[in-house]
Each structure stands twice: as C-alpha cells, then as structure tokens.
Structure 1
C-alpha cells in the first residue's frame, strides 16, 4: 500500500450513514489503486471545499451544487458520475408528512421548512429557485426555516412533524425508501425538480494525472467486476460514467437566475 488517499465525503447524509454508505466503495477504490484510504468528514460543504484550497484532500464525493458553482475556484476535476436507475441524473424531491394536508409548494406558505446545507443543490438551491420563479424568497415565504445539514436529517424532521416540508436529494430518498423505509414511508413526495447531473467524485488538481487516470479506470470498470458490482448494488448505483459538463449546466443556469447567486445571506436556525 502506497501513500494514503485522503477522501472527503460531504455530509449529504449524516456521519453514521455516510460511513456505512461509502466505506466499502472507498475501500474498493483504495484496494484497486494500491492505496490506503483516510476518510475525512466535515459538517458543511463549504468546509470540504476549503480543504481542497489547502491541499488537504485528494478525492471527494461532493454535491452537484458546489461542483457546478465553483469547479474552477477550488480546482477540482470530476472523475466519475454515478448512473442510478439508468441515468446519470438526480432530482430534488419536495416532501411533506404523509398525512399532512399539503399537496403543493404554495400550501407551505407560512409554514416551517427545512433546507439541508446552504450550498446543497437539491436541498437548498432548487427550492430557492422555485420560489424565485414566482417572485418569492424563503425569508418571507415561510414562517421559519432551518438547516439540517443532511438529507436523512431532513427526511427525519418531516417524518416526525418537526417541520412541515423539506427538499431532499431524490437518490437519498429512494435509497432509504428501498433499504430502510421506516422514515420515508412517513413522508410523501409532492414535487420533483428537473434532472441535474448526479454528484460526482472529484479529484484535487494536485493529484498526479496518472493516479487520477487509474482511479477513474477503477470506477468505470467497477460494474464489470463481481466484487465491485456487489458494492454498487448495495448503493443502488448501476455503474459509473465519465462526467459530461452539459449535465451540470442546468445547475449553473439556476444559480445565475437566483437574486443573490444562490447563497442565502439569511441564516436559518438549526432544528
């Protein structure tokens, strides 16, 4: 085993879930690339991005939002994008409690709403964009907003009635609905966004080109290897594909269409 690969995982799901979800995949990459793996976790996407600037991480699974918005600033290069349910895309799901009276975004006016991370595409940018399209903003549309910092926390908050609605990563909702439906079965999807390129695995610009090529090759061939396919099946991933920038252009267009370029200056409280 050569030098450790420092791999960061943005907290799209909470730390315990992240470890379970990614451990086998990361171990597989390390084994095939002949490197040990050091898993690095941070609470916010912004903290992960900062690690790239400092040269403290080599690879990361990051949200589509930061990738689309700041690829050049942070110098990451997309190595592979997961194909799930036949497509390299995902959607934002607007969810409410199963037995609630809410059926449309308009029904949530004056209610309590959960975002995930300030930089999340499906968990924050999309619902802000939906509101901007009708001349509204979260700060005045909802009675209160909170950040949960992970999609499973948002699903939990809706299922338990702590908030009235939330926007979450459709892949994550479908994953939990498939494997642990206790919480998702207590929620109902009332709107889905247009498709966006799925969150990619990115490499630091400082990682040697030959190593980037090797890791990309490992991922692209993973579904053809019985051991690799077994890991992918557990994650509901069909295979990995070479990313195409046009998959992420709709996110860039959406960010450009937001009054403050996507980031909220308002700081919602924590639930």
Structure 2
C-alpha cells in the first residue's frame, strides 16, 4: 500500500482582504487549490493499482491538521489494500462537484452541503465524528480578545468575515442569526469578506483585520488546544445551537461492498490502538452512522433562508 498521493494543482498566493473593500491586507498565506483546473489525467486513469480517490476541502483540513487526515486515510487504504489519492480543493462547492463527474469516491463535507446537496451531488453519509462525547458541533461567533464587543448586536456597522459560501458554521448560521433580526449581512455590517478557511478567520480576527467572524467550534477548540497562539487573541461571544458534525460521505456510484467495508473500518477505528491514536490527533472520540435528525436544524435554517429570498 502506497502512502497518500497528493493532487495539489496550484501554488501559494497571498489572500487579500481588499477583495471585500477592506483597507488592511492579511499578512498570511493559504493554498490556492485552483477551482478551474481539472484533475490531472494520471489521477483518473487506471494505473494498475486499486485506488480510492478522497477529496478534502481546505476548509476542513488546513495545513496544520492535514498530516492527521493523511494518517486516517492511509489506515483506511491499508485495511482495504487500496492506494489513497488525496484530492484537495479550496471550497466545498469544488469538492461536491467532483461527485457527479465520478471523479471522487469519498469526501469529508460540511453539514450544510450534506443536508442540501445529497441528491444533487449524488453522495451518501457513511460516518459522523463524535467529539467530546457528542455527534454535534456549534458555530462560534468570535471577536478580538481585547475588543469591547460582547454580542452580535455590537458588531453592527463593523467588518465581518464569513468562511466558505457553503459553510454551515461559517456562513449559514450567522446569516440565519441576522435573518431573525430582520437584517442581511449587507444591511447589518459595513463590509464582509470570505476567508475560505476557519483558521484564516480566526487569524483575521486575532490580528484585527476584521471585527468578528463565525467559525467551526470544533476547529476553534482544536487550535485552542493544539496551537493556542492562534486562538489566544480571540474570544467567543456566542455559540449556536448544536448541529450534526460534518460527515464522511461516499459516492452513490461506489461499489456497495467497498462502501460497506469502508464504513466498517471507520466505525471500528476506535477499537484499535493505532486507530485511537489517529482519532486522538484529530480530537475525535469515534465515528457513528449518521442520523438524519442530527441535521434537522440545518435543514430548518436552509428553509428559512429560502423563504426569505
């Protein structure tokens, strides 16, 4: 079994908050994963090896945690006797659009696209991570630690960062909060921007490039434990209701037996010493089969947002 092969298709670029009209530039970089280029031919041709193509959006797997996803995927591949081809993309949309083209087999997706796009993108849930004893997560509204902001209302007229347009915790939730106040982002904030990853949003708030942001609570807690220098300059002022955690999904076109084997491996990962170590690095207790009721309040938010348009 070969280790994970990476299909990164572009270099590093500087992300500018000027794209949203802000006057300050972010002094950090992220990987531009090129939404327009197709997967290279060698990754979709028969190489003589059994391959499993797995997509991870940069939103879910920033560079600091990518090594742990590599450990998880290599474990799955070794158990199956398959080579793992890791295909990374910048946005959730770019990952989701690979499914109906039959270009990927598995992906870690956001709860929003999972609820709103299963039929459109032709994938189905295999496993949901259980973290701190629950299959749920929350959106955290964060501000700079030493700021005077203590509520969403305090951010009226300020600069705000969303993450990915399809992110549940980073975009849908704060938009829903504003809807309940009879506001849109355009009417409530002076300016908005998209950072395209939760760690970028945390960093932007900490450095004062934006006044507030909504981020994945799991990721904020992960960094608070593993890399507190990233979160120490931020403060959580609001937490959302609980939503089903972002699941691992499989293409509806994947061989049913292979799909079942993958699910069995993931759901029993916590029963082995190696699996426990891998899960521990990701701050995951174990995986469980997804239940639709865990994601019901995500569905409710989508419906409310749709009715308001």
TM range (shorter): over 0.9
1:1-271 aligned at under 5 Å gives the runs 1=1, 2-13=49-60, 15-259=62-306
Structure showing greater relative contact order (alpha-carbon pairs closer than 8 Å, 6 or more residues apart): 1
Kindly tell me the number of residue pairs found equivalent between the two proteins. Answer: 262
Cα distance in 1 for residues equivalent to 2:191 and 2:135:
34
Deviations along 1:163-197, one digit per CA (max 9) or x if unpaired, are 00000000000000010000111100000000000
Cα distance, 1:14 vs. partner? 5.9
Q: What 5-or-longer segments of structure 1 have no aligned partner?
A: 263-271
Cα distance, 1:49 vs. partner? 1.0
CA RMSD in angstroms, aligned pairs only: 1.3
Deviations along 1:221-241, one digit per CA (max 9) or x if unpaired, are 100100000000111100000
Moved over 4 A (4+): 259-262
Cα distance, 1:150 vs. partner? 0.4
Cα distance in 1 for residues equivalent to 2:153 and 2:147:
14
Native 8 Å contact 2:59 2:90 kept in 1: no
Deviations along 1:51-110, one digit per CA (max 9) or x if unpaired, are 011110000001111001111111111000000000000000000000000000000000
TM-score norm. by structure 1 comes to 0.94
Asked which structure has the greater CA Rg, the reply is 2
Cα distance in 2 for residues equivalent to 1:165 and 1:252:
25
Native 8 Å contact 2:68 2:278 kept in 1: no
Cα distance in 1 for residues equivalent to 2:65 and 2:251:
21
Query: Measured at CA, do residues 142 and 21 of structure 1 come closer, stay the same or move farther in structure 2, by a change above 3 Å?
Result: farther
Deviations along 1:96-130, one digit per CA (max 9) or x if unpaired, are 00000000000000000000000000000000000
Cα distance in 1 for residues equivalent to 2:166 and 2:68:
21
TM-score norm. by structure 2 comes to 0.83
Native 8 Å contact 1:93 1:122 kept in 2: yes
SS in structure 1 opposite 2:142?
strand
SS in structure 1 opposite 2:166?
coil
Cα distance, 1:22 vs. partner? 1.0
SS in structure 1 opposite 2:253?
coil
Cα distance, 1:207 vs. partner? 0.5
SS in structure 1 opposite 2:98?
helix
Q: What 5-or-longer segments of structure 2 have no aligned partner?
A: 2-48
